[in-house]
Amino acid sequence: MIGDIEVRGREELFINIHPIQAAGRLTPEAMKAMIAYGDGYSTCDWCRKPFRLDKISRPPISEFHLELAEFVGMDQARVVPGARRGFQAVVSSLVEKGDSVIVSSLAHYTEFLAVEDVGGVVKEVPLDEENVITGENTAQKIEKVKQDTGKLPKLILMDHFDYMFGNEHDIHGVGKVARDYCIPFSVNCVYSLGVMPIDGREMGADFIVGSGHKSFASPAPSGVVATTDEWADKVFRTTQMVGDVSKRRFGVKEVEMLGCTLMGANLIAMMASFPRVRERVKHWDDELKKSNYFINEFLKIEGNKVLSEMPRKHTLTKVDTTGSFDKIARTHKRRGFFFSDELKKRRIVGEFSGATRQWKLNTYGLTWDQIKYLAQSFHGIAKKYGINVA
Amino acid sequence: MVEKAVEETFEALFALTDLRQIFRDTKPTYRFNSEQKRQIRDIIEKVRGSLDVIEKELIK
């Protein structure tokens, strides 16, 4: 215990399949960084002129920013306190009151809020029959907006992989549409940047936004916003404000970043994880093999379904156990919690407690031994309750 | 030298962090392979060594 705060040992004691926690688990290097740099403004020990976070060279924060931009195939990058602040910076720079912004109909709520914050209006692209956003549907929506409002949308905000199904969307197709209509294109890579290779230029993106705590083995909040040189002056514009009494100026500070962004341990932990993150994205195929192995085993349980696209292109998957574990829950004295109890007995956590119909899981970062153990555990629970396993 | 004790405090904490990672890699069965057993022995040795230095520097 830390006073009355319990120690969180779940990553050491349990297999955790929580949909949003998997790829944000810290590397040992990040854990060490948290120990050494936890004090408030720890990154400011060697802050010298021009007094801005991304210019600090000790520890090598400045170098990290350059490497980060290169890592995502863009010209410039900034760290931000969560991807949502990245969406906000982009939207706030480009969108004005009444402007339309194209989003996915699986867009994260923070994309909605970023647009609402500036008085814009979201216009959702419908999914196709596979729950995927296509370039064609995006073009149709743009035409509809143009027809309805007499103006083109100011921005396209599109998810690479969505949070609901973990489906891959046609980013290249959307990027082509964005270019055809000359609409700036921002890609939400919250579920991809840090787990698989990302090349913003190749995607046709003007902006790339990622999450440190979701996919970059970093603490919350942390994230990335990256752009091209063409857009950097707009999104990373510096303040022009002058105090009317004091005549003070803060010239080098970037307006959308509110000056310095991710100060302290969160940034240093991101930096500490970076070498391992850079390496792990090369092994995304292995993660997909494990994800598909588990899902195939999961589907051997009679009544189980997968709601995400198949075969899996991500480790995040939405499943449906209405035809299996939910049947047991209907008459069990613990209702849906029987399933959580059974998982916990087998040292597995992270499912939505009590849910036995539609729920999500994420296998990212588990070893093969853990994946096989997970599959066997699901089979074991099914067999215990008389559900057939093929 | 307090500096040495401080340095060894971090070294011990970092070594124990490596042990956390071994727990994470092997949960929930904790069947350690020979390499992991060697790492665990090294970590314990490292922490003991750090504690010896801390004790020597601060108390003895």
ipTM of the complex: 0.98
Read off the CATH number of the domain in which A344 is found.
3.90.1150.10
Instruction: Provide the CA A24 distance to its chain's centre, in angstroms.
Output: 9
**CA distance to partner chain B, nearest, from residue A72 (Å):** 27
Q: Does the residue A389 lie in any domain?
A: no
- Backbone torsion region of residue A259, taken as left when φ is above 0, otherwise alpha when ψ lies between -120 and 50, otherwise beta: left
Q: Is B20's CB within 8 Å of A31's CB? A: yes
Read off the CATH number of the domain in which A58 is found.
3.40.640.10
pLDDT on residue A386: 98
Closest CA to A255 of A100, A117, A62, A88: A88
User: Does residue A373 belong to the interface with chain B, where contact is any CB pair within 8 Å?
Assistant: yes
Domain limit, last residue, from A281, A298, A322 = A281
Q: Does the residue A4 lie in any domain?
A: no
Residue A222 and residue A290 share a domain: no
Q: A115 pLDDT band (50/70/90 cuts)?
A: very high
pLDDT on residue A366: 98
pLDDT on residue A125: 98
**CA distance to partner chain B, nearest, from residue A373 (Å):** 9
Cβ-Cβ contacts under 8 Å, B29 against chain A = 369, 373
Cβ-Cβ contacts under 8 Å, B17 against chain A = 28, 31-32, 35
Alpha-helical regions (H) of chain A: 10-13, 28-36, 61-71, 83-94, 109-117, 135-149, 171-181, 200-203, 212-215, 229-235, 265-280, 284-298, 325-329, 337-345, 368-384
Q: Does the residue A223 lie in any domain?
A: yes
Q: Does the residue A263 lie in any domain?
A: yes
Residue A58 and residue A14 share a domain: no
Structure confidence by residue, pLDDT tens digits, A317-341: 999 999 999 999 999 999 999 999 9
Domain that includes residue B30, residue range:
2-58
Domain limit, last residue, from A281, A316, A337 = A281
Structure confidence by residue, pLDDT tens digits, A157-168: 999 999 999 999
Average pLDDT over residues A247-258: 96
pLDDT on residue A158: 98
Residue A308 and residue A267 share a domain: no
Average pLDDT over residues A31-50: 97
User: In chain B, which residues touch A (CB < 8 A)?
Assistant: 10, 13-14, 17-18, 20-21, 23-29, 31
Q: Does the residue A3 lie in any domain?
A: no
**Minimal Cβ distance to B10: which of A36, A347, A369:** A36
Predicted TM-score (pTM) of this structure: 0.96
Domain limit, last residue, from A281, A307, A335 = A281
Average pLDDT over residues A270-279: 98
Q: A362 pLDDT band (50/70/90 cuts)?
A: very high
Structure confidence by residue, pLDDT tens digits, A55-88: 999 999 999 999 999 999 999 999 999 999 999 9
Domain that includes residue A15, residue range:
10-21+283-384
pLDDT on residue A319: 98
- If one counts the domains in chain B, the total is 1
Q: Which of A8, A26, A27, A31 to mutate to test the interface with B (most CBs of B within 10 A)?
A: A31
Q: Does the residue A390 lie in any domain?
A: no
Percent of chain B topping pLDDT 90: 97
Edge-to-edge, what's the strand order for the sheet holding A316-320? A305-306, A316-320, A358-362
- Is B1's pLDDT higher than 90? no
pLDDT on residue A1: 87
User: Does residue A25 belong to the interface with chain B, where contact is any CB pair within 8 Å?
Assistant: yes
Residue A373 and residue A334 share a domain: yes
Q: Does the residue A115 lie in any domain?
A: yes
Residue A255 and residue A238 share a domain: yes
Residue A272 and residue A148 share a domain: yes
Structure tokens at A266: 């969160």
Average pLDDT, chain A: 98
Percent of chain A topping pLDDT 70: 100
**CA distance to partner chain A, nearest, from residue B53 (Å):** 20
pLDDT on residue B60: 78
- Is B33's pLDDT higher than 90? yes
Closest CA to A94 of A176, A252, A207, A250: A207
Contact call for residues A215 and A192 (beta carbons, < 8 A)? yes
**CA distance to partner chain A, nearest, from residue B17 (Å):** 6
Q: At what angle do helices B2-26 and A28-36 cross, to 10 degrees?
A: 150
Q: Is B27's CB within 8 Å of A13's CB? A: yes
Structure tokens at A76: 């410039």
- If one counts the domains in chain A, the total is 2
Q: Does the residue A37 lie in any domain?
A: yes
Residue A271 and residue A359 share a domain: no
Closest CA to A112 of A98, A91, A140, A136: A91
Q: At what angle do helices A135-149 and A171-181 cross, to 10 degrees?
A: 30
